[in-house]
Structure 1
Amino acid sequence: MSSILTNISAMAALRTMRDISGQLGVEQQRISSGLRVKTAADNAAYWSISTTMRSDVKAMGAITDSIGLAMGIVDTAYSAMETVRQSFVEIRNLAITASDMPQPGMRDIVKPAFGLDPEYAKSDVYKIDVQIQQLQDQARDAMLSASFAGVNLVYHDKTEPVKASEQVFSFVIGYANSKVQTMDVSAMDTLLLNDGFGVYPTSYPGQYNPEKTLFDGGEIIDAPGTFTPAAVYWYNIPLSNPITGDPEAYPVNPTYILQSIENHVVRQGADREGLYSNLVATIDKKIEQITSKMAYVGAVQSALDTYDELNKKAIETATKGIGRLVDADMDDTAVKLKALETQQQLAIQGLQIANSQPEIILRLFQ
């Protein structure tokens, strides 16, 4: 049946062309965005999962930055420790050299605390002592400057708001199940120098703080030939607090390590060779302790490297998973797009043919 009021063929052709145009628009959008699922309307389940995973990937990206910061802190500490270790290796070697030198003279047998004896200052041993002090200062500078992003793992200032024993460095290392994962490092496991050793007379009135780290306080050295041991100090000395009377640390520089040894030989009659031997053994022990702390920090470095690699792999895996859910297959989409463009051309031709049917009816009346 033909009608001049209703062109059923044209309506069918138009409907087909609209369907093809709609599919064509979808495929064109996929080509331009690269996404098969762009909004929740495309696929609610996949869109929800991918959105959550994208949020997790951003969090893991922040974790990567945090691990990089932690690695900077730990690497700086390790470098400072290496400087300190090398300095004390040199100090040990200089002590060995001094032990073979002629015994220096002493004007004041009862030497003032950390004062330079003028007779001792003329000796070759004093020249070695000066070199040792320079190495001590070099090591101290390395410890004080081992700060990265305001964090120092090897030096604790007495102005810190917490005691060294209460100080814990928490490094962010991961993100899983909507929770941030951290690795804690106790300050006492890494510190080489604690200026807060002793008592905190202002922050912690009346509370003794026996947090001695590697170079705090003095070293008691057995002196062969006498019952009185010798004592040397590296950076601070425990004295009585003038208010409370409790012991606390005070900085001291220079320390004249070798002068303390030589003075003990003169004053107490200690065996010089044996005392120097014990001094070298004491320094060797310090070097071993530094090495042990470096091994611990090295283990932290290794752990951070592992966590960094795991986090990067987690980001890569999550990104691939998101792609499988929502990314468009560009090869498949391109083929479909080409086919739909061809169908669209055919639909347009079909609509033109359908629209020409009223003209055929018009000829019947001519």
Structure 2
Amino acid sequence: MTNSLLTNTSAMVALQNLRSVNKGLNMVQEQISTGKKVSTAKDNAAIFAISTVMQSDVKGFEAINQSLNLGSASVGVARGAAEKVSELLVEMKGLIVAAQEDNVDRTKIQTDIGQLRDQIDGIVEAAQFNGLNFLKGADSTDFLASLDRDASGNVTASTISVDAYSLETTAGVAVVGLDTTGTTGVNAAGDSAAALIADTNDFEIHVDTGATFTEGDVWELRIDGRKINYTVAAGADHDDVAAGIESAIDAAGITGISVALAGGGAADAEVIITNGTGGAVGFEVTVTDGAGGGLANLNGLDVSTAAGAAAALVSIEGLIQESVDASAEFGSAQKRIEIQNEFVSELTDSLKTGIGALTDADLEAASARLQSLQVQQQLGIQALSIANAAPNSILGLFR
């Protein structure tokens, strides 16, 4: 059968081809209008799922950039203030050195020292960014640094922790409950002690069983120059304090230094620190009241007498070192934050590039395909028109 009025096979083939061309044409036009080859899940479900997850990570890293910018600014303010405090303490040292001479007016020098101390107070009070002041108190602040996704899709947040470093001149009350004993002959009771521990010797911290501990009291230990802090928690007793100190030393992971607990309960709690380094190790422990500042000893500087001037010269060195340590720690923290911020920015750009490679349309190829499909559409319409006209030839048989 050449032709049929009921079944026009040629027309059906031409129509199927035209529908296919129109479908391709619609797809290319959508790619050109959206700029994406995968804009919905129906385009490519797997790629859409991957790109959506990556887009969410990009949004997260953009928020992390803001957190790191805030952290850098906050720590930068603290670093600048600590450096200025160091400058003022060095200037104060010059005055104290001048006071060592007998033929000077020590009263006027003392007045100048008092003015510098007040200026330090003003700097410390003003060294805040959005209410966060790293020069007051002993708390640490965590800044969001990264979002880490494992192979199973689990996401965890990592942070950069910045410790506060008190440079306040507020004096704290006397702290009780400390008795330190070193086998090198140091045996001191009070709120501070230091020793040089020879190889295989121990240094013991005795925490008094009858002492009352105040929340916020800070135990600062230096072992071979390594600073370790423990802050007393609310409701802590002598066993809790000893355990906290032991845990802080152990967590520091100082090579050759081991620590153990003894006593406790009804007896004094003992923190026994053993030196196994093979050489002498400096050890120092001080305890300050939670209300006291790191530069509290500034209030005790009095150069109005020869004896006071001599004592002030000894004290100022430690105070300068305190502010220098703060500047160095803030500087290191700020540098780390800025490095992480730069990395996160580069990582975000890389993620965006990857998402684009998966989902963005090749507009050059799409333009060429569009023109090809438009020509195919015109030819398809012509072919369908010819196929639809074929049944007209049947009329010739009835003439």
TM-score when normalising by structure 1: 0.69
Task: Kindly indicate whether residue 63 of structure 2 is the aligned counterpart of residue 51 of structure 1.
Answer: no
- Structure 1 residue runs without a partner (length 5+): 105-124, 157-163, 214-237, 239-245
| Whole-Å separation in 1 of the counterparts to 2:212 and 2:291 | 11
Letter paired with 2:77 = T
Q: 1:170 aligns with which of 130, 135, 142?
A: 142
Letter paired with 1:172 = L
Matches within 5 A, 1:91-110: 91-100=92-101, 102-104=103-105
Task: Kindly indicate whether residue 173 of structure 2 is the aligned counterpart of residue 198 of structure 1.
Answer: yes
Contact preservation (8 Å) 1:71, 1:301: yes
Residue 129 of structure 2 corresponds to 148
Instruction: Tell me the number of residue pairs that the alignment of Structure 1 and Structure 2 aligns.
Output: 288
| Whole-Å separation in 2 of the counterparts to 1:285 and 1:339 | 82
Are the structure 2 counterparts of residues 361 and 248 from structure 1 closer, same or farther at C-alpha, using a change threshold of 3 Å?
Answer: closer
Are the structure 2 counterparts of residues 207 and 359 from structure 1 closer, same or farther at C-alpha, using a change threshold of 3 Å?
Answer: same
* TM-aligned CA deviation for residue 10 of structure 1: 2.2
Letter paired with 1:16 = N
* TM-aligned CA deviation for residue 93 of structure 1: 2.0
| Whole-Å separation in 2 of the counterparts to 1:282 and 1:143 | 20
- In structure 1, the residue corresponding to 2:141 is in which secondary structure? strand
Residue 138 of structure 1 corresponds to 119
| Whole-Å separation in 1 of the counterparts to 2:169 and 2:312 | 22
| Whole-Å separation in 2 of the counterparts to 1:249 and 1:81 | 17
Residue 316 of structure 2 corresponds to 283
- In structure 2, the residue corresponding to 1:80 is in which secondary structure? helix
Residue 309 of structure 1 corresponds to 342
Letter paired with 1:136 = R
| Whole-Å separation in 1 of the counterparts to 2:34 and 2:8 | 39
Contact preservation (8 Å) 1:92, 1:280: yes
Q: Provide the aligned C-alpha RMSD in A.
A: 3.1
Percent of aligned positions with the same letter in both sequences?
A: 32
- In structure 2, the residue corresponding to 1:179 is in which secondary structure? strand
- From the two aligned structures, give the one with the greater strand fraction: 2
- In structure 2, the residue corresponding to 1:193 is in which secondary structure? coil
Letter paired with 1:23 = G
- In structure 2, the residue corresponding to 1:171 is in which secondary structure? strand
Q: 2:160 aligns with which of 166, 183, 186?
A: 183
**Over 6 Å off, 4+ runs:** none
CA deviation map 1:113-169 (0-9, x unaligned): xxxxxxxxxxxx44433332222222111111111122211112xxxxxxx3xx222
CA deviation map 1:58-109 (0-9, x unaligned): 11111111111111111111011012111112212233344447345xxxxx
Task: Kindly indicate whether residue 352 of structure 2 is the aligned counterpart of residue 319 of structure 1.
Answer: yes
- In structure 1, the residue corresponding to 2:39 is in which secondary structure? coil
Most deviating of 282-291 and 177-186 = 282-291
Residue 213 of structure 2 corresponds to 207
Contact preservation (8 Å) 2:217, 2:290: no
TM-score when normalising by structure 2: 0.64
| Whole-Å separation in 2 of the counterparts to 1:94 and 1:20 | 91
* TM-aligned CA deviation for residue 174 of structure 1: 0.8
Larger Rg, first or second structure (1 or 2)? 1
| Whole-Å separation in 2 of the counterparts to 1:338 and 1:247 | 77
Letter paired with 1:173 = A
- From the two aligned structures, give the one with the greater helix fraction: 1
| Whole-Å separation in 1 of the counterparts to 2:125 and 2:290 | 24
Letter paired with 1:207 = F
CA deviation map 1:226-279 (0-9, x unaligned): xxxxxxxxxxxx9xxxxxxx9976999x9594xx322x44xxxx4xxxx64553
Letter paired with 1:153 = F
Q: 2:330 aligns with which of 275, 288, 297?
A: 297
Are the structure 2 counterparts of residues 195 and 281 from structure 1 closer, same or farther at C-alpha, using a change threshold of 3 Å?
Answer: closer
Residue 87 of structure 2 corresponds to 86
- Structure 2 residue runs without a partner (length 5+): 150-154, 176-210, 221-287
Residue 111 of structure 1 corresponds to none
Contact preservation (8 Å) 1:194, 1:211: no
CA deviation map 1:284-319 (0-9, x unaligned): 332233222211111111111121122122212222
* TM-aligned CA deviation for residue 15 of structure 1: 1.6
Are the structure 2 counterparts of residues 349 and 307 from structure 1 closer, same or farther at C-alpha, using a change threshold of 3 Å?
Answer: same
Contact preservation (8 Å) 2:68, 2:145: yes
Most deviating of 283-292 and 317-326 = 283-292
CA deviation map 1:28-84 (0-9, x unaligned): 111111111122222121111111111111111111111111111111110110121
